[in-house]
Structure 1
Amino acid sequence: MLPYKSLIPVHRNTAITLHIQVCNSFITLITNGTLKPSDILPSSRTLAALIGVNRNTIKLAYEELISQGWAESIERKGVFVLSGLPALSKIKRAETDKNKVVKEAFSWDNNFENALPGENFQQAVLTIDDGFPDVRLAPVDLLMREYRSLSRKFYGKNFLKYGSSKGSEHLRFSISNYLSNTRGLVVSAEDVLITKGSQMGIYLASQLLIKPGDNIAVGLSNYCFADDTFKYSGANLLRIPIDSNGMDIDYLEESLKHKKIKAIYTIPHHHFPTTVTMSMERRLKLLKLAKMHHFAIIEDDYDFDFHYDNKPYLPLASIDHNHNVIYIGSISKTFAPALRIGFMTGPSKFIDASASLRQLIDKQGDTLLEEAFAVMFNNGEMERHFRKSLKIYRQRRNFFCQILQSSFSNRIEFSIPEGGLGIWANFDKKIDLLKMSEEASKRGLQIGNGNFYKNESFSINSLRMGFASLEENEMLKAFDILKSILG
């Protein structure tokens, strides 16, 4: 007889009843090949004594096994594993040799073997990120108050049902008004799609626009996850240089004489990662080229709301009269990254198609959360949050840059950004960013190693350094650690 005493453990301090525990243990023994079809199970009296439970518990377990089709009772003989079950091979113990190549159970196309994993910033560690908002400033309590309030109201229960794949109608109206008031972008609520952050918008746009072999123009330096999204769609990336005036549109114009492109992805406002802003002259020329060559412009405007020294340029979408621009924005980047709310606007039929595609990967967003955000926009809380944050982030930017100028001027070169939540820091070539990052981690500081910003055409000793999520005392601690490492 099998050593049932060790094979069938019972735990009395769980919500799962004892007879279900016993039943589940037998199912495991059958499915892992330890028990074969037609094997006899021990009598209820014997098993009860072995594992220390009441005999009725075992009887109930056997009845459950029989009702689920795992076992059968044969009169005067006992309970047996169902004879009609297919015989299963006994599972071998897992290999412990990590270097041994294990054959997978099934095959699939892995296009992400070399993809960089997303960093986990949820641990309570002193961090210089690459430019995130300070979640401590976000009025989350007010948002949750509206969330709870809506859930208690009789009409709020409707928001728990399936809704439009475009997102909450109220939030789409709020976003429509918000875009009109802040960017001069007049767009109907029907032409707004609420997304799970800007990344979903980039993915949807790429899937609809790009076929394998199509060319898409992107920055020489660019947002890594956008690059990966386009590659996944089968696109060839045409790299366009970035200088102090943003993407070089003259270079793009010359490239268009030799190559046809399906789309261009650009971050004209606070380019990622370099933080530069595209000049108005280049913006107008880009729109002219899009009209002439019939390509789409994917405009990623992830942090328009944070501009410190003067008013920001209007987005391309606001001055596009030929409907070439797909405009993508994010509330996550201005409120809290984990609250995945973004938006996308564009030609009506394109937004309709995007909503249809969105249904295949995510039927809809969190309608109740979207409704709560709509209330926050409508009662002015979001505007108050932006104003408060803008003032604090400007002070933090100035303090952060003062420290860099006074303590690291011989090691780090940078320009003070006009807006955004981080600076583009060019480190002395003698500094190994990978070793610096590893040493900082040992000393309690999380900071990147620069690999996130590199691609097949762009590899310099630089790093985005975010200031917005750090209070001044935290900056001092972080820079003390960095200074001790760099010397």
Structure 2
Amino acid sequence: MNSPVEAPYKSFVSIDRQSTTAVYLQIANQLINAIQRGFLQAGTRLPGTRSFSELLQVHRNTIVAVYEELDAQGWVETRPNKGTFIIGKIDARPQKIRAATETQLVQYPKVTGFSFRKSSLLDNPFEHAACDYIFNDGTPDIRLTQVAQLSSLYTANLKRKSNHKKLGYYNQDGSEFFKRNLSNYLNLSRGLHISNDNILITRSTEMSVYITAEILLSKDDIVLVGALSYFSVNMIFQKSGARIMPVPIDEEGIDVEAVRRICERHTIRMLYITPHHHYPTTVTLSAQRRLQLLELAAVYGFIILEDDYDYDFHYDKTPVLPLASADKNGMVVYIGAFGKSLAPGFRTGFIVAPEDLMGEMRKHLGIIDRQGDILMEQVLGEMIEEGVIHRYLKKSLKVYQERRDHFVAQLEEHLGDYMTFRKPAGGLAVWTQWKQPVNLLSLAKECAKNDLFIPKTLLYQHKDLTAMRLGFGHLTTKEAQESIAILKHSLLTQL
């Protein structure tokens, strides 16, 4: 049995007097760590409270509290007239207690002791940089959000006694109040004909796609996507085991005749489409092609997964209604985001589909997000009911339209000789195509040297295409002007 004086306790215990954790808990936790990692072995007698307090330069009562904590957690036992001993199976040949370095005590294992599946498909495609200026793929400017008003709405709901009981709910079906208001909002703004039973509330568009893929796709199912499509959604489809088949995109959106030809040769399970503003090219699917797609889906039995990711952002004319508004055969699953003009924490995703599919989707949502956010949904429901969301959107649309017009004018003035583009009727990004081949990766690196970050996910380049999707919504007119100036300067450096 080891003597308590042999153990190098100072190598096990380091006390931080500035920490909010009580000193006795710091000591107890570090001793437990030393026991777990084998530096203090079973059967070791700990020092007496007086000598240990002198060694660690703490009050004796602190050590008493340490031993009481160790005893309460089942690490030690106190034997009358003998002392306090570490509990456990005693080695017949006890080893000398080793001193421990700080790294040995606090380092977490770098690798697992077991095997597991790894997926290169799900590698994070998003990049970050510390540049002052950044292009993105078209996200709102959170600086336009009235954070104080949003906070007051949330705080008011949190204080409301009638909401207190809701805080403990596990409600995978979501707030009926919010769903009722959201269904009314979608019916009025997007020509739908739905009720609460047709809506599932999710955290994001990606969660909506994930749940849909989990239920509707099986290994080797064929999913049609645009030849240029949203990379995150493609990752989800591939993770489900589906086979992705690209379809050409032109000035009217996805090539419906190409879809027809593929259907004649293959059994298609799903078509993923962003018809309002195709991602990434921003073109709108024509009304005629929308009807043709619905007819093809009815004939060949494939699902149309319609992603209306930026329906709220339109400037020049009334937006084209979604395919889901004209679906008579239950072939469309409609997904979108609500509150994109709000701060990120106040946004939510949704799925619209026939009731039988909704029942299955709620089962899956109950597994991955059983708690939900019932209080936030209450706030969002009130924002719809009281017209707050309409006022937010109206204000932000005016700003985004001004930014779009200025951004396009700057592109024309400074880069019109090098690229072609079209002023988008909606959305928060411009699709640009270079008139002559440019090494976009090298251009992005040169821009980064000049304090402008362009993520790889915005770059589209192969032998027949050199293009970029440039978001303008998050940039003030001054920031946009300076960003485009850096882009031009970096381009001229490369030429």
Q: TM-score, normalised by structure 2?
A: 0.90
Structure-2 residue corresponding to 1:44 = 49
* Superposed CA offset, 1:142-198 (max 9, x none): 222111111111212133121532321121111111111111111012211111121
Equivalent pair of 2:205/2:350 in contact (CA under 8 Å) = yes
Q: Which segments of 5 or more consecutive residues in structure 2 lack a partner in the other structure?
A: 1-5, 105-109
Confirm or deny: 8 A CA contact 2:421 2:431 kept in the other structure: yes
Does the alignment pair 1:237 with 2:249? Answer: no
1:35-61 Cα shifts (integer Å, max 9, x gaps) = 111122223222211211012211221
Equivalent in 208, 211, 228 of residue 235 of structure 2: 228
- For the pair 1:129 / 2:136, whether they are aligned, the reply is yes
Structure 2 equivalent of residue 313 of structure 1 = 320
For the Cα contact (< 8 Å) 2:440–2:459, is it kept in 1?
no
Q: Does the 8 Å CA contact 1:143/1:376 hold for their aligned counterparts? A: no
Q: Report the RMSD for the aligned CA atoms in angstroms.
A: 2.6
Of the three residues 378, 390, 396, the one matched with 1:371 is 378
Note if contact 1:450-1:462 (Cα within 8 Å) is conserved in structure 2.
Answer: no
Write out per-residue CA displacement over residues 72-102 of structure 1, whole angstroms, 9 at most, x where no aligned residue. Answer: 223333222113389999999989xxxxxx8
SS at match of 1:342: strand
Aligned residue in 2 for 1:115: 123
Separation in 2 of the partners of 1:301 and 1:484? 36
Determine whether 1:7 maps to 2:9.
no
Alpha-carbon offset, residue 435 of structure 1: 2.8
Q: 1:162 to 1:387 in 2, by over 3 A?
A: same
Identity %: 35
Q: 1:275 to 1:407 in 2, by over 3 A?
A: same
SS in 2 for 1:181: helix
Aligned length: 478
- Runs of at least 4 residues off by over 4 Å: 85-95, 450-454
Which residue, out of 434, 445, 466, partners 2:471? Answer: 466
**Tell me, what secondary structure is at the counterpart of 2:282?**
coil
Q: Which amino acid aligns with 1:31?
A: Q
Structural mapping, 1:283-298, within 5 Å: 283-298=290-305
Write the distance in 2 (CA, Å) between the matches of 1:458 and 1:367.
50
Query: 1: CA distance between counterparts of 2:78 and 2:436?
Result: 77
Q: How does 1:119-268 map to 2 (within 5 A)?
A: 119=127, 125-268=132-275
Measured after TM superposition, the shift of residue 103 of structure 1 is 5.7
Residues 339, 389 of structure 2: 8 Å contact kept: no
In 1: Cα distance, 2:164 partner to 2:465 partner: 53
| Residue deviations 1:186-222 (CA, integer Å, cap 9, x gap) | 1012211111121111111111100111111111111
Q: Is the 8 A contact 1:270 1:276 kept in 2?
A: yes
What's the CA shift string for 1:309-348, capped at 9, x where partnerless? 2222110000111111111110253333443401111111
Structure 2 CA distance for partners of 1:48 and 1:94, relative to 1, 3 Å:
closer
Query: CA distance change for structure 1 residues 168 and 140 in 2, over 3 Å: closer, same or farther?
Result: farther
Q: Assess, with a 3 A threshold, how the Cα gap between structure 1 residues 452 and 2 changes in structure 2: closer, same or farther.
A: farther
Q: Distance in 2 between matches of 1:265 and 1:94?
A: 50
Deviations 1:422-450 (A, max 9, x none): 01122355433223323333333222234
Per-residue Cα deviation, 1:202-252 (whole angstroms, up to 9, x for no partner): 111111100111111111111001101111111011111111111111101
Q: Does 1:23 align with 2:31?
A: no
- Equivalents in 1 of 2:213, 2:182: separation in Å? 23
Partners of 1:143 and 1:236 lie apart in 2 by 43
Could you tell me which amino acid in structure 2 is paired with residue 284 of structure 1?
L
Per the alignment, residue 80 of structure 1 pairs with 85
Inter-CA distance 267–181: structure 2 relative to 1 (3 Å threshold): same
Q: Would you say the 8 A contact 1:10–1:18 is kept in 2?
A: yes
CA distance in 2, matches of 1:379, 1:398: 31
Distance change (3 Å), C-alpha of 1:9 and 1:105 = same
Q: Counterparts of 1:323 and 1:183 in 2: how far apart (Å)?
A: 17
